[in-house]
Amino acid sequence: MATLVFFHAHPDDEAIATGGTMARVAAEGHRVVLVCATKGELGEVAPGFLTDGESLTDRRVEEVRAAAEILGAQRVDFLGYRDSGMEGEPTTKDPECFAMADVDEAAGRLAAILRDEDAEVLTVYDERGNYGHPDHVQVHRVGIRAAELAGTPRVYESTMNRDYIVELMKSRAGEMQDIADAPDPEEMDLGMPAEVITTTVDVSAYVGQKRAAMVAHASQIPEESFFLQLPPDAFTAAFGQEWFIRRGPERATVEDTLVPLD
């Protein structure tokens, strides 16, 4: 049995980016640990969604724990930083926010979890943080440093196959036109090109759990969201694979799993 630590910026990121892989490796008998840098304090929430006296922070912690249970994670932890908000917002300069954290200090917090778990695998984000969010970019920096400090042997950058997603959106343009907030494939700037991706994990058997984990994050992924409005076959086409870039000398290796096979 291997232990895999999935490092994410905010609650709900885990469901969208690596939920299928988490569910798959958990089903295969491996230990899954989820670590969030923040509790997503600055997420947007619809008016009236929260109950009287309930904070968004409390709700998002509740949601991520529910999603983690659906995905088979056996531990959920937080690094204790504040959500930084989007690029250009004044909140990104908050000294308590994750984007402003000292990389070595934050990496030390994550490294302590990696050591405690004797983790064989850590996932972070690609160097662009998938789409440039300050907290996502910081996950990349902090995660790589934490793996160095803890001696974690396998590090994977969670990403999106930009070429595949753009072509998929174009091919299904007719289905997408009636879905609110459907992205324009010509304007999409997500993930990395297919040529740099080393690892494609087939999670088509776990899209039900992945979708259920998204539903658990109702404050951020409401029923009317683009993700949840996708027809089942389109959802499987979009989310039935998850992509990673393996760091280190094995970067060029073509793999279909994150789990060490040796």
Query: Could you read off the pLDDT of 164-208 as tens digits, one per residue?
Result: 988 888 887 776 666 767 777 667 788 999 999 999 999 999 999
Question: What domains are there in the chain, each with its CATH number?
Answer: 3-246 (3.40.50.10320)
Residue closest to 37 by CA, chosen among 3, 68, 6: 6
Q: Which two tokens stand for residue 128?
A: 């662009």
Let me know: does 245 contact 197? Beta carbons within 8 Å. yes
CA angle 8, 2, 75 (to 5 degrees): 45
> How far is the C-alpha of 6 from the C-alpha of 124, rounded, in Å?
7
Query: Which residue in this structure is represented by tokens 């683009």?
Result: 226
67-85 pLDDT, tens digit each: 999 999 999 999 999 999 9
User: At residue 261, does pLDDT exceed 90?
Assistant: no
Indicate if the alpha-carbon torsion angle 8, 190, 41, 20 is positive or negative.
negative
- Looking at residue 250, what is its pLDDT? 62
β-pairing, 154-159 vs 241-246, is: antiparallel
89-117 pLDDT, tens digit each: 999 999 999 999 999 999 999 999 999 99
Average pLDDT over residues 2-28: 98
The DSSP 8-state label assigned to residue 245 in this structure reads E
